[in-house]
Homo-oligomer: A and B are copies of this chain.
Amino acid sequence: MAQYFSKLDGTFQALADPTRRAVLGRLGKGPASIGELAAPFDMALPSFMKHIHHLEKTGWIRTRKTGRVRTCTLERKSFDVIETWLAEQRSIWEGRTDRLERFVTTIHDKEASE
């Protein structure tokens, strides 16, 4: 039983906050600057930045600074991490592993064709 640190810890932790989930939702529509992303929130910018850092550190987004503007983009692969875990769990209680295998294969095919 994996007791040591897992990437899943951070991946799920990131989703446990409504601000961060909202940011991911917004980024699903396309890249955005820090200012744009922060606008809807009644929160000081440094506080908001902590969420951005968290999302970046846990692999949910990538950011890049051009001039004085930092642009954030969604890292879609993180969703696969979760879907894989979900499929794994379901396969446990369905008492079979074929579903998981089929799922992982599907993901792999999608990425190969990107």
Contact = CB atoms under 8 A, between A and B. Distances in A.
Interface of A: 1-6, 8-10, 12-13, 15-19, 21-22, 24-25, 28-29, 40-42, 74, 76, 79, 82-83, 85-86, 89-90, 92-93
Contacts of A93: 28-29, 74, 76
Given A79-B89, A82-B86, A8 B21 contact: yes
B2 A8 contact: no
A13 to B, nearest CB: 4
Number of copies: 2
Nearest to A22: B1
A88 to B, nearest CB: 8
A85 to B, nearest CB: 8
